[in-house]
Amino acid sequence: MVTIDARSGSGLETRKILLVGDYPPPHGGIAVHVRDLHCALRGSRATVRVLGLGGRDRDVPGVTSVAHSTTLAAHLVRYTSLGYLVHAHISGHTPKSWLVALACTLFRAWWARAPLLTVHSGLTASFLAVSGHHRALARLICRRFGLVIAVDPHLAAALAEVGTPSERLFVAPAFSPRGVDPGDLPDEVAELRRLLSPLVCAAVTERPVYGARALLQALPAIVRDHPAAGAVVFGPRTQELRQLAQAYRVADRVAFLGELPRARAQAVIGACDVFVRPTLADGDAVSVREAMQLGRPVAASAVGYRPAGVALFRAADPEELANAVLQALARGPIPAPPTDGVARVLELYAVRVPHAQS
Amino acid sequence: MCGIVGRVNAAGRCVEREALTLATRVLAHRGPDGEGLHVEGPVGLGHRRLSIVDRLGGAQPMANEDGSIWVTFNGEIYNHRLLRAELESKGHVFATRSDTEVLVHGYEEWGEEIPSALRGMFAFAIWDARQQSLLLVRDRLGIKPVYWSRVGQDLVFASEIKALFAFPDVVREHDLQALPSFLALRYIPGPRTAFKGIQRLQPGHLLTYRDDEVRIRPFWDVPVRAAEQRSTDEIEESETLSQLIQSAVRLHLMGEVPVGVFLSGGIDSATTAWAMRQAETSPPTSFSLGYEDPGQDELPYAHLAAEAIGTRHRDVVIDSQTFGDSMEDLAWHLDEPNSDGACIPLMHLARGAREEVVVVLSGEGADELLGGYQIYGKMLTIDRLRALGGPLVDPTLTVLARVVPQPKVRKYVGLARRPLERRYLGVSRAFTDELIDRVFGPGTMEVLIEDFAPLWDRAHDATPLDQMLYIDTKVCLPDDLLIKADKMTMAASVELRVPFLDHELLEYAWTLPAHLKRRGRVGKRLLRVAMAGKLPQQILTRPKQGFPVPLRHWLRTSLFSPCREVLLAASSSARAHIGEQLIDQLLTEHRSGRADRTEELYALWVWETWHRVFLTDRLEQRLEGCAVTNPPWAEPAAAMPG
């Protein structure tokens, strides 16, 4: 693995960048990172285009929504012929995501620079463990990229284990403080602030991997120490969670805000006393880093990669979750680590590794 | 884990302490560490204790501060510390660290809604002196058993049926209506038992007794309609499953006594052992069962798993002689006939484990959660063939059923002629449909199939796989597997815990689509993905094995004579009801190797032995034996916190 001195990255060697990945936010860490990177590149001298996967049409300058593989291939042919350096962003825990990565390597002219790949998902190691086919696929594809970026050290280790050459493997978190810009606080939360204290905050959906059950079950134990404690949760599809809150007898202490734009979500995080990340599987969660950047204490499940200073608990364990929240509250805010994944990626655009397979 | 018993008399008549004491002592094997009684006018509660949580302070029956609420409880409440915190925040004051006390204060706070707050395995009774009412509850999946009966207007209940017979007015009468079910399925589906007038409280149900009236209602059911309702990502779900299993196993390690694990060498028990290893700093002790006859057991796989996971491992080995000698013990401890061949080996495995541990975890339930049984694949294949064949299917199968000579093939051809809801009666079978109708008359199987109809209706909208899982989770699991698991381990005073049956894990599993449970011939697909890289590949890729017992071989050799002697004895009830000719035919066919009659012969042997133990004067002798037991802790040990 090559370590880049952050001070040595000076400017972009390549002027034209094509970002391929989920877009737009607020859905998921990949989209947030691609958006931050897009903004950062637009602010530099580079020309940047985004192929937003998932086909959600949004009117964002420089962004093209791609819903089908043929459209993706056509755009890749066009942009590579125009000299764009392709930077693919994939989850890495589905065969489909690796096939997208493979597609990003197919249309490069022999003289052009090898593309870059960022692998985001904390589940990638599990995907690679499932079968030799998965590992072979990942190895084959990673070797076709000039640089492979993992968003946390665990993920980098998993990619190294399948045979990604160490000289092309780098770590750059998906988080950038430049993406933290809280908007207006929803009125509902301002009101809750007066009624409930401490106020616990979490970003969840009803998908079990988000671990919302444990959070709701833990709330009564937090209430024993803090009789006015409550929670605000935001995220899409929370109808079942409302029913669960009833079942766990905490419905009167939990506010469900639904899906929020990123800036408002950050405002909510910033207004709460503690941020909780109860996920059962994770990578280096952007929301955890956002909360730390906003000066909030954080309690998070001990899965994936968590920055130093986070109060950890074992996933799906409500009792430990409650204790971690109490511990985080007692400890108070921890200084956010000086992490800027976008700056790191901009540096990496300047790194040339010549021996990628074409 | 413990044994509970109780009686509430109508019209204010006092409960006889002597009978209650005997009933409690009949359950001594369930709780060798202590005994407690509470007798107050028309109510009597008994308790035998196996001390695991708060060993010094958790004596039962347990009361609230003013003695108006009394609890006798069998099981474990794994979320008791969270509930305690919640109840303390509402002003309740606890006097012990026991999970039982959560029931006392929880009932004060939530009344009859208390079962919904509990996470665990439980059967308990709460006497509310102010309301003059009794609440009897059984856990969601039926991990802990509880039986009840009316004696006139009175109510009696107990963890095991035999304890009820300590009350002289409880009648012992064989319910012959249950016999076809037993011979067809190897067990008797609840709420019916082998005794007239005695019922199992169904899983996820509560019974209230007030003003001489019994009212029963469910408080939970398998969330069958939740299947296939959300989009899923296999790796995300496998990681979720892995974490939920680890969380469930951690909860199931609760207690102040050594905990071991039954390790068969299959993926379920290996996963349980692996999760224990993740949760604990010291290696758990694992136990496996083997046989003197070489090559008949799974010990090589168990050893492989033990070494890979890093457990301290021990084998318990039995032979056919031990098996045959245990038949009466089996009947006594089971209370009812159950001809699952794994019962006796399990009892001996538990006895071996008891030398080192008090609590054991097992992988029971994973097949019902995640579609592990091979029969699901067979049934789904039949469904696909029926769909492919269109209108030609039925006539073709009718002809085939007449001309095919091999009984096994004919059986499947016969099954294929019916739709799934008339073909699938659960994972375990003994007598074929043909044989049942031959013994009990035409149409008997139809009646049996109709008994399952309400369950098929409830699962009507589910996928075929989920329909079968629902049937097994509602019937076969509680009435066969879990009864066996509870009673065979309790016979050795060992508490068995089944983390795969944590209801939160089960509710999660019911949100998964069928393709994550079975893919092709491979069951428990998601579990195999979740454990990839954590367990040896040989364990992950093994096809599903049942608990192997070399009964087919033994019934042809060393156990042929003991079985024949019992079945053809002059006093044999089996001979009276089934007929000497048929029994002789089954014995001859099996011994000669012309047909495999293991299931039929073993079912009859179990039934006949049960009949001898419970429906002759042998029962009185056994009860008398319990009465003379006078252990040093026999003084009433009722506890009143606060």
Q: Does residue A3 lie in a domain region?
A: no
List the structure tokens of B631: 């252990």
What pLDDT was estimated at residue B638?
A: 45
Distance CA A347, CA A10 (A): 7
pLDDT band (50, 70, 90) for residue B52: confident
In whole angstroms, give the CA distance from residue B613 to residue B329.
Answer: 9
d(CA A5, CA B314) in angstroms, rounded, equals 55
Q: A97 phi and psi, to 5 degrees?
A: -65, -35
**Token pair of A331, please?**
């400890």
Q: Which backbone phi and psi does B461 adopt, to 5 degrees?
A: -85, 0
Contact yes or no for A227 and B89 at CB 8 A: yes
> Looking at this protein, which amino acid is placed at residue B24?
T
User: Which chain B residues touch A207 with a CB distance below 8 Å?
Assistant: 230, 236
Burial class (CB in 10 A: 0-12, 13-18, 19+), A184: exposed
Query: Average pLDDT of B384-392?
Result: 83
pLDDT of amino acid B226? 55
**A212 and A264, same domain (yes or no):** yes
Residue of A nearest to B233 (CA): A94
State what percent of residues in chain B have pLDDT above 70.
Answer: 97
**Amino acid at residue number B175:** D
Q: How far is CA B159 from the centre of its chain?
A: 12
* Average per-residue pLDDT for chain B: 92
CA distance A3 to B604: 74
Say yes or no: A55 and A75 in one domain.
Answer: yes
The answer to whether residues B51 and B28 touch, using CB atoms and an 8 Å cutoff, is no
Residue B229 pLDDT = 64
User: Of the candidates A123, A127, A319, which has its C-beta nearest B81's C-beta?
Assistant: A319
Please state at what angle helix A212-225 crosses helix A318-331, rounded to 10 degrees: 60
pLDDT in tens, A153-201: 999 999 999 999 999 999 999 999 988 999 999 999 999 999 999 999 9
B7 φ/ψ angles, rounded to the nearest 5 degrees = -150, 140
pLDDT at A10 over 50: no
Sketch the domain layout of chain B as residue ranges.
Answer: 2-220, 224-371+473-540, 374-467, 551-623
Q: Which of B145, B170, B174 is nearest to B160 (CA)?
A: B145
What are the backbone angles phi and psi of residue A298, rounded to the nearest 5°? -130, 135
For residues A266-276, one letter each, b for 16 or more C-beta atoms within 10 angstroms of the residue's C-beta and e for the rest, the string is bbbbbbbbbbb
Q: What's the domain count of chain A? A: 2
Encode pLDDT of A118-143 as tens digits. 999 999 999 999 999 999 999 999 99
User: For residue A62, what are the domain limits?
Assistant: 16-176+341-348
What is the full DSSP assignment across A239-258?
A: HHHHHHHHHTT-GGGEEE--
Tens of pLDDT, residue by residue over B394-447, are 888 888 878 887 777 877 888 888 899 999 999 888 998 889 999 999 999 999
Distance, in Å, from the CA atom of B409 to the CA atom of B396, rounded to the nearest integer, reads 14
What is the per-residue burial (b if ≥16 Cβ within 10 Å, else e) of B513-545?
A: bbebbbbeeebbbbbbbbbbebbbeebbebebe
* 3-class SS string, B494-514: CEEECHHHCHHHHHHHCCCCH
Residue with tokens 């349980």: B272
CA–CA separation, A1 and A156 (whole Å): 9
Answer whether residue A4 shows pLDDT above 60. Answer: no
Q: Which of B329, B343, B610, B357 is nearest to B488 (CA)?
A: B343
The top-level CATH class assigned to B224-371+473-540 is: alpha beta
Angle (CA) B208-B211-B212 rounded to 5° is: 80
pLDDT for the residue numbered B487: 98
Residue type (1 letter), A240: E
Tokens of A166: 């160490």
CA dist., res. B401 & res. A323, Å (int): 65
Residue A9 domain-assigned?
no
pLDDT tens-digit profile of B256-298? 888 999 999 999 999 999 999 999 879 999 999 999 987 788 8
The H-or-E segment that residue B3 falls in is strand B2-8
Cβ neighbours of residue A27 under 8 Å, at least 6 residues apart?
A54
Which residues in A lie closer than 8 A to residue B533 (C-beta atoms)? 126, 129-130
Main-chain phi, psi angles of A7, to 5 degrees: -80, -15
Helix, strand, coil percentages in chain A from 3-state DSSP, rounded to 5: 40, 15, 40
- Specify the residue for token string 């972009």: A12
Residue-level pLDDT at A44? 83
Q: Is B240 in contact with A208 (Cβ distance < 8 A)?
A: yes
CB B147 within 8 A of CB B200: yes
Give the model's pLDDT for residue B47.
Answer: 96
Model ipTM over 0.85: yes
The count of other CB atoms within 10 Å of the CB of residue A332 is: 11
Residues of B in contact with A123 (CB under 8 A): 235-236, 239
DSSP of B21-60 = HHHHHHTGGG-BTEEEEEEETTEEEEEEE---SSTTT--S
Judge whether A218 is closer than 8 Å to chain B, CB to CB: yes
pLDDT band at B636 (very low <50, low <70, confident <90, very high): very low
A218:B82 CB<8 A: yes
Question: Are the beta carbons of A283 and A152 closer than 8 angstroms?
Answer: yes
Q: How confident is the model at residue A58 (pLDDT cuts 50, 70, 90)?
A: low
The DSSP letter of residue A210 is: G
Concerning whether B626 is annotated as a catalytic residue, the answer is no
The shortest C-alpha distance from B161 to chain A (Å) reads 34
The owner of tokens 């989209």 is: A31
* Maximum separation of any 2 CA atoms in chain B, in Å: 76
- Over range B496-512, report the average pLDDT: 96
Task: Identify the bridge partners of residue A11 per DSSP, sorted by sequence position.
Answer: none
Q: Is residue A353 part of a domain?
A: no
- Whether residues A110 and A194 fall in one domain: no
pLDDT given at position B225: 72
In this prediction, residue A239 has a pLDDT band, given cuts at 50, 70 and 90, of confident
Please tell me the predicted confidence (pLDDT) of residue B4: 98
CB distance A314–B238 less than 8 Å? no
Residue A80 near residue A50, CB atoms below 8 Å:
no
For residue A261, is pLDDT > 60? yes
Q: Hey, how many other C-beta atoms are within 10 angstroms of the C-beta on B454?
A: 10
| B629 pLDDT more than 70 | no
> What is the third-level CATH fold of B2-220?
Glutamine Phosphoribosylpyrophosphate, subunit 1, domain 1 (3.60.20)
In this prediction, residue B633 has a pLDDT band, given cuts at 50, 70 and 90, of very low
* pLDDT for position A23: 84
Q: Does A228 touch chain B (CB under 8 A)?
A: no
Q: Do B243 and A223 touch (CB under 8 A)?
A: no
Minimum mean pLDDT range among A24-38, A112-126, B14-28, B204-218: A24-38
CATH of the domain at A297: 3.40.50.2000
Q: Does residue B428 contact residue B338 with C-beta atoms inside 8 Å?
A: no
Q: How many Å lie between the alpha carbon of A305 and the closest alpha carbon of chain B?
A: 15
Which single residue is written with the structure tokens 């640089």?
A147
Q: Where are the alpha helices (DSSP H) in B335-452?
A: 343-354, 366-370, 374-389, 393-403, 407-416, 420-423, 433-440, 444-451
pLDDT of A9 above 70: no
Spatial distance between the Cα atoms of B380 and A176, rounded to a whole number of angstroms? 51
Q: Is B447 helix (H, G, I), strand (E, B) or coil?
A: helix
* Among the ranges given (A41-50, A262-271, B112-121), the one the predictor scored with the smallest mean pLDDT: A41-50
Is position A60 within any domain?
yes
Tokens found for residue A229: 């404690």
Q: Do residues A24 and A164 share a domain?
A: yes
A130 and A260 housed in the same domain:
no
Q: Is B532 on the interface with A (CB under 8 A)?
A: yes
Convert the pLDDT of each residue in B239-251 to its tens digit. Answer: 999 999 999 999 9
Tell me the per-residue pLDDT of B149-165, one tens digit each, with 9 for 90 and over: 999 999 999 999 999 99
Same domain, A165 and A39: yes
For chain A, percent of residues with pLDDT exceeding 70 = 92
CB-CB contact of B62 with B71 (8 Å): yes
**B67-88 mean pLDDT:** 97
- Answer yes or no: are the C-beta atoms of B494 and B201 closer than 8 Å: no
Contact by Cβ (8 Å): B220, B503: yes
How many Å apart are CA B514 and CA B449, to the nearest integer?
25
Same domain, A27 and A144: yes
pLDDT category at B79 given cuts 50, 70, 90 is very high
pLDDT, residue B634, reads: 41
> Which residues contact residue B510 at a Cβ distance below 8 angstroms, ignoring those fewer than 6 apart?
B222, B223, B224, B226, B227, B466
Chain B residues in contact with A220 (beta carbon < 8 A): 82, 85-86, 89
Cβ burial, residue B503 (10 Å; 0-12/13-18/19+): buried
Q: Is A94 on the interface with B (CB under 8 A)?
A: yes
Residue-wise burial string across B148-161, b where 16 or more C-beta atoms lie within 10 A, e elsewhere: bbbbeebbbbbbbb
The alpha carbon torsion through A176, A179, A184, A186 (nearest 10 deg) reads -60
Q: Among A26-30, B37-41, B65-69, B300-304, where is mean pLDDT lowest?
A: A26-30
Among A233-237, B161-165, B178-182, B541-545, which is the least confidently predicted range?
B541-545
Contact criterion met (CB < 8 Å) for A280 and B230: no
pTM of the model: 0.94
- With 70 as the cut, is the pLDDT of residue B96 above it? yes
Which residue has tokens 């004491």? B21
pLDDT tens digits for B320-341?
A: 999 999 999 999 999 999 999 9
Residues A154 and A226 in one domain: no
B280 touches chain A (CB under 8 A): no
Do residue B532 and residue A207 have CB atoms under 8 angstroms apart?
A: no
Taking an 8 Å cut-off on Cβ atoms, the answer to whether B243 and A316 are in contact is yes
Quickly tell me which residue has 């065969």 as its tokens: A95
- Provide CB contacts within 8 A for B286, sequence distance 6+: B260, B261, B262, B263, B273, B302, B305, B306, B309, B311, B312, B313, B314
> Taking a C-beta distance cutoff of 8 angstroms, is the pair A131, A162 a contact?
no
A131 with A94, same domain? yes
Label the pairing between strands A85-90 and A254-256: unpaired
DSSP letter (8 states) at residue A295: T
